Amino acid sequence: MGVLIDIIVGARPNFIKVAAIVKELDARLSEDFGISYRLIHTSQHYDKKMSGIFFDELNIPSPNINLNVGNIESSKQMATIIARYSKVLATQKPDMVIVCGDVNSTIACALATKKTDPKITLVHVEAGLRCGDCQMPEEINRILTDSISDYFFTTSRTASENLINEGVSPSRIFFVGNTMIDTLYNNERKFKKPSFWDEYGLESKKYFALTLHRQSNISNAETLGALLDAISEAAEHTPVIFPVHPHTAKMLDSFGIRPSSRIIMTDPMGYLEFNYLVKNARAVVTDSGGISEEATVMNVPCMTLRNNTERPETCTVGTNMLLGNSPKYIFSAFEKLKAGEWQLGKCPELWDGKAAERIVDKICDKLLRPQSEKHTILKLKPKEFGEVKYNTIFLN
């Protein structure tokens, strides 16, 4: 009997983290190794720019099941994901569920899994990250997901230590590296010039890239307006390219904020164009965790508009610096950059492009295979579940 894994995706950063895992699993499926998977998309992000483009560019197969929740109020969204994924679990129970990151889909599907059957193995990829700020919705999602997971794949020793300090047995924690960085290495050769590059006369290292979508920065008109004014002023004559997250676009609209003309607003970008933009930027200004990791690996100065980070290695080893959201620190950071004093980035430990390989190795060797049957699984009939062709089923 083969083993079935459900892999959950829902929001933009999930697609990028899971792309490398799916690639690794697909490579091994062709070796008849007795595991198959269903890709479950909650559609927390659902349109072409926040979802579809990542499937196309990163060669992620179409989801087997789409929970189709769409853009509804956060608590309703969580409740709908729990209800719809529970229905899927009741129809066919997987042996293991893999959730990643810290979005609503992560905790909602984790909860549905453990409420349906506590014996289903729940695995959290990018476990143990803590910023210590429970005002942040993502921190709540991380803590809750880790509190009910069985196995933990971490991106840093600090994350593993956080889990140990919370009482998780070290035998359940695996420091494997960073699948988001696997995806970066897997696609670096395909990065492409954004379509607007010539229109705005962009030149390598002569512009800044900006992203903003954390609640702490966008939910208050004064904070958001002051941030954009400070960035625009500090950038002086250098253009700032700002691919605007849909939540941020909504808030800008409702507050009636129009950034200065130095800030060039664009739609959210595809992965290949966005990372070309970051790689060639003079610096990135952001409140995204994932982007601070990518900037670190690409050795691009990164100014993070937050007071804390759950990814401390991006600051200690990498190019990241925390500025909070006070204009004063934004100005001094731009001065530091101009003076050529920015810290060069080194690659954090095990961010070597092999995290997904380590994860799938562990899943095969340790999690799915009882020790006594260590070798028998290789003799299984080819892919019990793998031969079933799922078309995407949309739930309502």
Residues that bind ligand UDP (CB under 6 A): 12-13, 16, 180, 211, 243, 268-269, 271, 274-275, 288-291, 294
The amino acid at residue 202 is L
In the complex with ligand UDP, the residue whose CB is nearer, 95 or 267, is: 267
User: CB–CB of 324/305 below 8 Å?
Assistant: yes
Sign (positive or negative) of CA dihedral 214, 219, 221, 223: negative
Distance CA(268)–CA(212), nearest Å, equals 11
Cβ of residue 14: shortest distance to ligand UDP, in angstroms? Answer: 9
In the complex with ligand UDP, the residue whose CB is nearer, 179 or 232, is: 179
Q: How many CB atoms within 10 Å of residue 185?
A: 14
State the alpha helices, DSSP H only, in the chain.
12-29, 53-57, 74-91, 104-116, 137-148, 157-165, 179-187, 215-218, 221-234, 246-255, 271-279, 289-297, 313-316, 327-338, 355-362
User: CB–CB of 315/345 below 8 Å?
Assistant: no
In the complex with ligand UDP, the residue whose CB is nearer, 2 or 318, is: 318
What is the CB-side half-sphere exposure of residue 219 using CA atoms within 13 A?
6
Distance CA(291)–CA(286), nearest Å, equals 7
In the complex with ligand UDP, the residue whose CB is nearer, 199 or 341, is: 199
Distance CA(174)–CA(189), nearest Å, equals 29
- DSSP three-state, residue 4: strand
Cβ of residue 107: shortest distance to ligand UDP, in angstroms? Answer: 14
DSSP 341-394: -PPPP-PPTT-SS-HHHHHHHHIIIIISS-GGGTTGGGGSPS-TTTTS-PPPEE
CA dihedral 337, 341, 343, 344 (to 10 degrees): 90
Distance CA(195)–CA(358), nearest Å, equals 36
Cβ of residue 304: shortest distance to ligand UDP, in angstroms? Answer: 10
User: CB–CB of 182/358 below 8 Å?
Assistant: no
Residue nearest to ligand UDP (CB): 290
In the complex with ligand UDP, the residue whose CB is nearer, 34 or 289, is: 289
Q: Is 245 a catalytic residue?
A: no
Distance CA(304)–CA(76), nearest Å, equals 30
In the complex with ligand UDP, the residue whose CB is nearer, 291 or 305, is: 291
In the complex with ligand UDP, the residue whose CB is nearer, 239 or 268, is: 268
In the complex with ligand UDP, the residue whose CB is nearer, 96 or 284, is: 284
**List 45, 213, 237, 245, catalytic entry:** 213
Q: Which two tokens stand for residue 360?
A: 């799938």
Cβ of residue 313: shortest distance to ligand UDP, in angstroms? Answer: 15
Distance CA(140)–CA(136), nearest Å, equals 7
Q: How many CB atoms within 10 Å of residue 117?
A: 11
Q: Could you list the active site residues? A: 213
